[in-house]
């Protein structure tokens, strides 16, 4: 079976050494405690005349740094009892888009929330105070200091999004799924690793994993990191030291969900298969896991076929 990476027979057992820093848990535990102490100040503004068979809300909440993070929240029109909820995260450079993109989850019988990405292609701004320059895009901003890194507050946005959803009376707080593809898949894993309130997760072709291999192998946004390392070759190890705190190959060991449903494309040169298996194979043994393998697909993964399979899986595990 073809692959741009290792053969599938090798990928199945591929479990590279983690790069977890000694203060990794203390770092994230401290940040999660900080987040819990900061009010969400969530607002839900009803929007009519978009989907007549759904309730649609334009949502905003405070990030830990005061950035107002936007989102959409949808429920079926009539909710007689609390429903499972899906919290969805977005691919790199994208935004929350239009609310009808969540309609399949409402038709699946769930509430659904999509979180905008700070500073990227949506309606959410950002605040970033760094002591060193970066390269194009977002992934190198603050890369020399874990406390300045772009993804620090972005990862914390994900757990705050779950808290926002849990407060809604339409939502069964004990049945929450985190989902997303590419960057959204990375945020899915980070969210499940940092929030104790995520019940199941479904990351598709997830990004931000196994950084040392990704930077050597992948094309696309990872090349922002290689551009930085070309510009500052004397800071390569400093950059990798920061990235270790945000590497989902390390974070995934903290995941406490009951079930995980991954997907991977063996011809994916943006999130290479070995980097996907690099997190999948480090899931705790307590997690019931499954991965859909698409042998000749690239970064699109299983496309609409996989989305259909995922909707069915969500019904089975949360319905």
> Is 299 one of the annotated active-site residues of the chain?
yes
**Residue 274 appears among annotated catalytic residues:** no
Reported as a pLDDT band with limits 50, 70 and 90, residue 136 is confident
Residue 273 CB partners (closer than 8 Å, separation 6+) = 3, 4, 5, 6, 8, 11, 264, 265, 266
User: What is 8-318's CATH superfamily?
Assistant: Alpha/Beta hydrolase fold, catalytic domain (3.40.50.1820)
Stretch 163-168: mean pLDDT: 98
Choosing from 268, 274, 279, 306, the catalytic residue is 268
The per-residue pLDDT for range 216-231, each reduced to its tens digit, is 999 999 999 999 999 9
**What gap in Å lies between CA 214 and CA 212, rounded to an integer?**
6
Give mean pLDDT, residues 33-53: 96
Known catalytic membership, residue 23: no
Alpha-carbon Rg for the chain, nearest whole angstrom, is 19
Which of 105, 141, 299, 306 is the catalytic position? 299
Start-to-end CA distance of the chain, whole Å, equals 35
Half-sphere exposure of residue 94, counting CA atoms within 13 Å on the CB side?
16
> For the residues 292-308, what does the mean pLDDT come to?
98
Percent of the chain predicted with pLDDT > 70: 99
> SS3 of 264, please?
strand
Phi, psi (rounded to 5 degrees) for 221 = -60, -30
Reported as a pLDDT band with limits 50, 70 and 90, residue 128 is confident
| Domain residue limits, the chain | 8-318
So what's the pLDDT on residue 1?
54
Q: Tell me the helices (H) and strands (E) count for the chain, helix number first.
A: 11, 9
How confident is the model over 259-287, as pLDDT tens digits? 999 999 999 999 999 999 999 999 999 99
pTM for this model (two decimals): 0.98
Other CB atoms within a 10 A radius of the CB of residue 269 amount to: 16
Which is catalytic among the residues 117, 182, 195, 279? Answer: 182
């Amino acid at each position: 079976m073809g692959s741009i990476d290792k053969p599938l027979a090798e990928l199945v057992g591929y479990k590279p050494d983690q790069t977890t820093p000694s203060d990794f848990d203390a770092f994230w535990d401290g940040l999660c405690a900080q987040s819990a102490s900061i009010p969400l100040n969530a607002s839900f503004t009803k929007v009519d005349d978009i989907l007549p068979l759904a309730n649609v809300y334009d949502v905003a909440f405070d990030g830990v740094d005061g950035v107002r993070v936007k989102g959409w929240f949808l429920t079926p029109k009539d909710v007689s009892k609390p429903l499972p909820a899906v919290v969805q995260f977005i691919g790199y450079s994208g935004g929350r888009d239009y609310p009808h993109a969540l309609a399949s989850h409402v038709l699946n019988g769930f509430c659904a929330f999509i979180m905008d990405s700070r500073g990227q292609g949506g309606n959410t701004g950002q605040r970033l105070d760094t002591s060193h320059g970066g390269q194009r895009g977002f992934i190198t901003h603050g890369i020399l200091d874990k406390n300045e890194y772009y993804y620090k507050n972005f990862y914390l946005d994900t757990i705050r999004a779950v808290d926002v959803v849990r407060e809604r009376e339409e939502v069964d707080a004990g049945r929450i799924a985190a989902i997303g593809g590419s960057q959204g898949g990375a945020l899915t894993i980070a969210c499940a690793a940092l929030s104790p309130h995520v019940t199941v997760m479904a990351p598709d072709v997830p990004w931000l994993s196994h950084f040392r291999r990704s930077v050597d192998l992948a094309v696309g946004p990872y090349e922002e990191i290689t551009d930085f390392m070309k510009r500052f070759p004397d800071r390569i190890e400093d950059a990798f030291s920061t990235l270790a705190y945000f590497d989902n190959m390390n974070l995934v060991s903290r995941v406490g969900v009951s079930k995980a449903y991954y997907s991977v494309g063996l011809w994916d040169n943006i999130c290479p298969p070995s980097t996907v298996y690099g997190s999948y194979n480090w899931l705790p043994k307590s997690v019931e896991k499954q991965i859909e393998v698409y042998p000749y697909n690239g970064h699109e993964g299983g496309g609409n076929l996989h989305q259909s399979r995922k909707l069915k899986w969500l019904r089975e595990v949360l319905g």
